[in-house]
A and B are shown apart, each in its own frame.
Chain A
């Protein structure tokens, strides 16, 4: 009897403990180590405390400003577009249409492909000399475009790839939200003479608001952390036209061999994302 009671008391801990331990090991510990790195200079023989000297450099660094601007451009460009596309797809594929399951899988597929593969695939498609996009333009009698090579188009092209990669996943989340709405609501609205648009505006949108907040948070976090597709497609170029924070952090930490400053950029990114997520959570509760 005592044994059974003990098991009941400790059982929940045992179930949750592996996850908590993993979060501590692979999220909390690296974060704390990142903070530690940002205030230390490392050599093989010594770890020297350098205080906050890397942090004022963040303000003075002109390349960091460029990368921050590019990151915001990517976030503001990709998140609304991915959400709108995901919701449209989810609404379309929530109806009884032929090949619905196949279409759902097809739209989810880009999310399942690794970022490196996606980057290589799109780099080839965007190639001005050999790419399929310019091939199509040529068939239509239009002049070729320099997609990734034109600094004014580069981020736009990357945003489209980001949306292509993420929209399918957000569509699945939206589908779950849409399927949780009781059909009776729509029946009652139809009986009251409500049209499709009114049903969508007055029933669907309010009831999927929690999902929208969830998707918004996930999409914002993902967009701020974008790395692989950009690293593969452009490496941050041409020049610095697509240099985002994580790519710059990588360049500083590994190519310029300055782990300390790289970690400082990481802490900046963490702070931005953390504050934004808090704000979004607060807004969702309100």
Chain B
């Protein structure tokens, strides 16, 4: 048997080179420009990359149909789609940024756009769009994409929050839901209704907060008369008597077991609680309709107006098409113009069960409960608060929202007093405003 000498240095050199070559393969697409590899190498076809976060099958199908139409109208261009979830969007975009491999076009949640704009990764598409296009959109949605003369995207829809309720329970308890915004319940009436549901139906809990979302509580805070920032938006104003009232109200509902534990803290999935009938009312947006349609089989549901305190208020959120600063800006802008058309936006917003961000959306249809389109429009109009909407699209909000949500959870789970949580929220906002 012959003896084989293994030269350690030589071995490490060779395998090291192979390893580095393997690792650098990841960088190859970046050298030839994001996903346009095919175009750059072959000089014939352009491949655009697009990231989308579908809510379900209807909007996934709608997007596929739209992109097929775009490819048909633009021979030589094809669009590669990467699907993810709304929750994972920040992770996907951040990973792409770190690896310098940004997509050409992406769907983003509107109130994150200012933060991405601040990072300088979004392209200014104002020269590709008609000069007065902003007038065709709902003003507060458009505000998410326009920064001075820069336009970094196009809003698609706006998801409006309202109050979902169990129709069977309401009938059993003899409760009639408000039929117009001026009939919306006050907080006290809302809690009374919740307690009546717990007494006269199988509901274990009368009402439920949205989920571990600060957006939802920001609306409640505003209903109580509070604001996140002062009037000139230079300093936090959350630590106020109104802020305390809103937070203590939420804590009290949980302490008295009128609201189920774990939902605001993110340790319990709210969907099965509502669909099973364990909860009678749920403050949630129209985007839940697709899931409710498939999961709520034992009870009927409907929506009514969100309760109010000193004033009505809800934070509306929506998706935005954005173009990133890649080498294929021209083609990507073309795609954006296509996606911004009334036809495209109506189709996609409808498939996501949202109202359209365009003022005109002829033929808007949802996968289910299309009869509620007008109701959600009225809810949005009745509860729209310019300052609240402006606050939630400032960069500080996107940057602190998770930490604020954690503070909310700390207060509701009793780990912090309401006062302490508000002080910490104030500190977080102040630190970000600096």
Interface residues, chain A, CB within 8 Å of chain B? 5, 8-9, 11-13, 16-17, 20-26, 28-29, 37, 42-45, 123-124, 127-130, 146, 148-151, 154, 233-241, 243, 250-251, 253-257, 259
Contact yes or no, B278 A12, CB < 8 A: no
Interface residues, chain B, CB within 8 Å of chain A? 2, 4-6, 11-12, 14-16, 18-23, 90-91, 94-95, 97-98, 100, 102, 115, 119-121, 204-205, 212, 260-262, 265-269, 272-273, 276, 278, 325, 399, 402-403, 406-407, 409-410, 412-416
Can you name 13 A-B pairs with beta carbons within 8 Å?
A11-B4, A20-B11, A25-B22, A42-B98, A43-B120, A127-B269, A127-B272, A128-B260, A128-B262, A239-B406, A254-B94, A254-B95, A256-B402
A257 to B23, CA, bound (A): 24
Report A-chain residues with C-beta under 8 Å of the C-beta of B119.
43-44, 257
Nearest CB to that of A9 among chain B residues?
A: B4
Do A20 and B19 contact each other (CB < 8 Å), given the known contacts A129-B278, A239-B413, A241-B413? yes
Do A154 and B267 contact each other (CB < 8 Å), given the known contacts A5-B2, A44-B97, A44-B325? yes
Report B-chain residues with C-beta under 8 Å of the C-beta of A123.
267-269
Do A20 and B15 contact each other (CB < 8 Å), given the known contacts A123-B267, A237-B265, A254-B90? yes
Contact yes or no, B402 A238, CB < 8 A: no
Contact yes or no, A257 B115, CB < 8 A: yes
Contact yes or no, B20 A29, CB < 8 A: yes
A111 to B260, CA, bound (A): 32
Report A-chain residues with C-beta under 8 Å of the C-beta of B11.
13, 16, 20
What total of A-B pairs shows CB separation below 8 Å? 158
Query: Which among A16, A23, A151 has the greatest number of chain B C-beta atoms within 10 A?
Result: A151
Nearest CB to that of A240 among chain B residues?
A: B406
CB of A73 to closest CB in B, whole Å: 15
Report B-chain residues with C-beta under 8 Å of the C-beta of A255.
90, 402
Report B-chain residues with C-beta under 8 Å of the C-beta of A5.
2
A233 to B265, CA, bound (A): 11
Contact yes or no, A257 B90, CB < 8 A: yes
A29 to B25, CA, bound (A): 12
A42 to B12, CA, bound (A): 31
Report B-chain residues with C-beta under 8 Å of the C-beta of A146.
261-262
Contact yes or no, B98 A37, CB < 8 A: yes
Nearest CB to that of B116 among chain A residues?
A: A257
Do A256 and B399 contact each other (CB < 8 Å), given the known contacts A8-B2, A24-B23, A29-B19? yes
Report A-chain residues with C-beta under 8 Å of the C-beta of B16.
20, 24
Report B-chain residues with C-beta under 8 Å of the C-beta of A13.
6, 11, 14-15
Contact yes or no, B15 A149, CB < 8 A: no
Contact yes or no, B413 A149, CB < 8 A: yes
Query: Which among B5, B22, B325, B399 has the greatest number of chain A C-beta atoms within 10 A?
Result: B22
A201 to B22, CA, bound (A): 49
Contact yes or no, A259 B94, CB < 8 A: yes
Report B-chain residues with C-beta under 8 Å of the C-beta of A236.
266, 406
Nearest CB to that of B16 among chain A residues?
A: A24
Nearest CB to that of A123 among chain B residues?
A: B269
Other-chain residue from B5, B19, B90, B102 in contact with A25 (beta carbon distance below 8 A): B19
Contact yes or no, B15 A238, CB < 8 A: no
Contact yes or no, B212 A16, CB < 8 A: no
Contact yes or no, B15 A239, CB < 8 A: no
Other-chain residue from A42, A150, A237 in contact with B409 (beta carbon distance below 8 A): A237
